[in-house]
A and B are shown apart, each in its own frame.
Chain A
């Protein structure tokens, strides 16, 4: 019984696919930074950035639909910014007949829409990164970009055992469901506290099993000569195309920001 986390990597031979994973990670971060630095209301810049994302989506074969569908996920958090149209002072667009005259201001709306756009396109870029880069490559890239080795190793282990442990959770949840019968006339389910305890015990027993598993893994590592450091093979070498991609994209971002701040 396997819980299959959708492996988001989509095989391909596009130019983007073949870029060094370090470049892909860096460009994704620069994209998000550029979006973040764009001032409120500069919708032309956002359009350009969106076009960039779409271009990459098309070039890699990942597809516009895929990216758009997955990027809908962030919407719920929009609630955090929902108050902006009502609280930012400025030119009033409309007044709602509630709460003693709630005003909607233009700057507020612009700010709100900007935040949503920034969030949305940043999300799309992140989605693309995982769609064109295998996880093992991303982890290697982080290490190669000088993230501390133990931290990257911890994340690698975590990723490796994510599925194993999530399977165990799934089995626990199913076992609980299988014993969650009801009988007519009786109130089932127990109290909240009881239910919480049951869930807590599931977590606790899984934690203990995980401890013991980590001991076994540690022994397996010792058996193969582990002394505290993990070395990995080099996965990729920088080629001219990587530098070209880096510089052209960097120029593109800088130009956008230039335009944004000088106008």
Chain B
């Protein structure tokens, strides 16, 4: 178990020519929780999509000790749990049970094991009672937590989240932050929520225009007002 993310010199162009990532280098150490911040359009989501091979750029991506290539995509996707911004895109099965079971079932695990992992994942996010519900009736806060469960059931080494607190009311946001604090895993989280960054994350990386413009201890970065202003960051 390596629990590491190592990205070296990663560049990526969209089909229409736009350069989304420019020589991005980032390392996340085992057990670390790192925040990825920056204005919209900086390339944060694009970078996240490289971590499990959905997008493939030029440069090296090494996740959980594996170099990303065509052959080990399956294993990498099991090792990196990627939670997308819009939970509606992620909860695509008839019931919560089916959604959380999707990952392990696809991996080929036997049914009995799948059920155990599903229940454990839902318990870990505090949604055990929701197991037979239909996701479309749930609140966004509930959906976000179940979306996390859908990747937890695959026992990933690393959790990557795209804007987990976006759209949540204060109570749901507080619940989610508590949940993230409780999850003892390597984590990379893209967010605009600077207060959460200050609370939860030891290190922060600032992205703008496809580049990592600063990486360091969260405390230090947040104290540098000029840096924050330069990249449109505010303690909201």
Contacts and interface: CB of A to CB of B under 8 A. Distances in A.
Q: Does A touch B (CB under 8 Å) in the complex? A: yes
Contacts of A233: 97-98, 101, 105, 111, 114-115
A222 B77 contact: yes
A205 interface: no
Nearest to B49: A219
Contacts of B97: 233
A216 B80 CA distance: 17
A223 B90 CA distance: 10
Nearest to A155: B94
B93 A160 contact: yes
Interface in B88-142: 88-95, 97-98, 101-103, 105-107, 111, 114-115, 134-137
Contacts of B49: 219
Interface string A201-228: 0000000000001001101111111110
Interface on chain A toward B: helix, strand, loop, or mixed SS?
Answer: helix
Contacts of A263: none
A223 B115 contact: no
A132 interface: no
Nearest to B88: A164
B74 interface: yes
B24 to A, nearest CB: 19
Given A136-B98, A157-B92, A225-B74, A232 B84 contact: no
Given A157-B92, A223-B82, 20 more contacts: A136-B95, A159-B94, A160-B91, A160-B92, A160-B135, A213-B89, A216-B84, A217-B92, A219-B54, A219-B89, A220-B92, A221-B92, A222-B52, A223-B77, A225-B77, A225-B103, A225-B107, A227-B106, A233-B97, A234-B111
Interface of A: 2, 135-136, 139, 156-157, 159-161, 163-164, 213, 216-217, 219-227, 229-234
